[in-house]
Amino acid sequence: MAQILAPSPQWQMRMTKNSTNASPMTSNMWSSLFLKQKKATPKTSAKFRVLALQSGNSTINRVEDLLNMDTTPYTDKIIAEYIWIGGSGIDTRSKSRTISKPVEHPSELPKWNYDGSSTGQAPGEDSEVILYPQAIFKDPFRGGNNILVICDTYTPAGEPIPTNKRHKAAEIFSNKKVVDEIPWYGIEQEYTLLQTNVKWPLGWPVGGYPGPQGPYYCGAGADKSFGRDISDAHYKACLYAGINISGTNGEVMPGQWEFQVGPSVGIEAGDHIWCARYLLERITEQAGVVLSLDPKPIEGDWNGAGCHTNYSTKSMREEGGFEVIKKAILNLSLRHKEHISAYGEGNERRLTGKHETASINTFSWGVANRGCSIRVGRETEQKGKGYLEDRRPASNMDPYIVTSLLAETTLLWEPTLEAESLAAQKLKMNV
């Protein structure tokens, strides 16, 4: 992200009140993504078929009509899609329930449960996992007053289950020292689109390779940009939902894209990234494309996929903030191993010191240097205040872990004076 601006008002986890006249994303939007529509051929009456109605030159499927139906004029009831993180720690799961009337805050929603033995989160003999609603977004697929609900997960006794990383993050973000510093995050989520059957990047010849990297980053044209419709559809879905998305772009490796979320305050950053990931999964599902968050989907001379995290505190954004940033970098250097171990599985395949990364084994920082662990922008150096960019997180990182760990290391953790002095010498930093 080029610049940290002002945070959204949604950090109190209230649903953004978008216009009720906005249209949801309908199923017929996906027909032009990759496959040309074929005219329906009549089948024998012995086989079940969905009847179609002719309207001008287009065929409107009755199932599609029902999918796109706005139920608002007919009932006060709404559909709430409860979303949670599955057993792998990176997969999103969801199921739907009817709520008697529209709601504005997660506290108005009931808790729910699911079969944790089917998601790898509980044994079969004691499989019930409880969903606690935590954040609400508008549903761009169903439209109307229907909502998406980000939940975290607990045992029936009220204990967070191991894959519930939001619980600890919320504790860190509720610490007074952290609250007073109003931490802002801008997260750059990279991802790769794969062809369904062969699991090979979109736009690549099956079993082969495109031309070398260079023309694809932010490129335009049928031979440079693969999957723009998905990126644009996701952008609009996020805006409709109330996610604080701030931009998108094509990435260095063909078939790879990025979207940015933020600036977000505290726990909101994780809620927004997880909801944005869920929307992307749903859109690629409808488009018939596979979403990959693998940090190095293609070996060789190709860029990996990261989740660079821009971070600042109130003190960093004020006069004299550059000194606060340098002190934060010292702390980060002393906990490099702890951060790396929490920054995503398979990250060692990406952090090689090549392709705009630093080595996973060595901590480094620099101004305007994309080959460092921590990058400080040129503008931040010139103004003497601003933010830092942690370039280590992988694309499959958990944003609850990364954001809360940054706050913990820079605001709550205190190194010894000796360790701080040695780190300052090693990094050639005067603090």
Give the CB-side neighbour count of residue 157, counting CA atoms within 13 A. Answer: 3
Residue 139: the pLDDT is 98
- Is residue 121 within 8 A of residue 87, CB to CB? The reply is yes
Cβ contacts of 165 within 8 Å, gap of 6 or more: 85, 89, 398, 400, 401
Name the residue with tokens 């990261």: 306
| Structure confidence by residue, pLDDT tens digits, 36-91 | 333 444 343 333 334 434 444 455 578 888 888 899 999 999 999 999 999 999 99
**Tokens coding 327:** 């002190």
| Structure confidence by residue, pLDDT tens digits, 281-329 | 999 999 999 999 999 999 999 999 999 999 999 999 999 999 999 999 9
Measured on CA atoms in the order 212, 218, 219, 222, is the torsion positive or negative? positive
Map out the domains of the chain with their CATH numbers. 67-163 (3.10.20.70), 174-429 (3.30.590.10)
Residue 424: the pLDDT is 73
Counting as low any pLDDT under 50, the low residues of the chain are 1-5, 9-21, 27, 30-57
Q: Which candidate, 140, 142, 139, places its Cα nearest to that of 67?
A: 142
Paired strand residues for 112: 131
Residue 362: the pLDDT is 94
Residue 352: the pLDDT is 96
Q: Which candidate, 161, 61, 76, 146, places its Cα nearest to that of 116?
A: 161
Cβ contacts of 289 within 8 Å, gap of 6 or more: 33, 34, 193, 194, 195, 196, 202, 227, 230
Q: Which candidate, 288, 305, 292, places its Cα nearest to that of 230?
A: 288
Rounded to the nearest angstrom, the gap between the alpha carbon of residue 138 and the centroid of all alpha carbons in its chain is 16
Paired strand residues for 113: 130
Residue 31: the pLDDT is 45
Quote the pTM value. 0.87
Strand order of the β-sheet with 147-154 is 92-99, 78-85, 147-154, 128-138, 112-115
Residue 44: the pLDDT is 37
- Is residue 381 within 8 A of residue 367, CB to CB? The reply is yes
Distance CA 188, CA 251 (A): 11
**Tokens coding 64:** 């599609």
Report the alpha-carbon angle 143-147-151, nearest 5. 155
DSSP secondary structure code for residue 394 in this structure: B
Residue 49: the pLDDT is 38
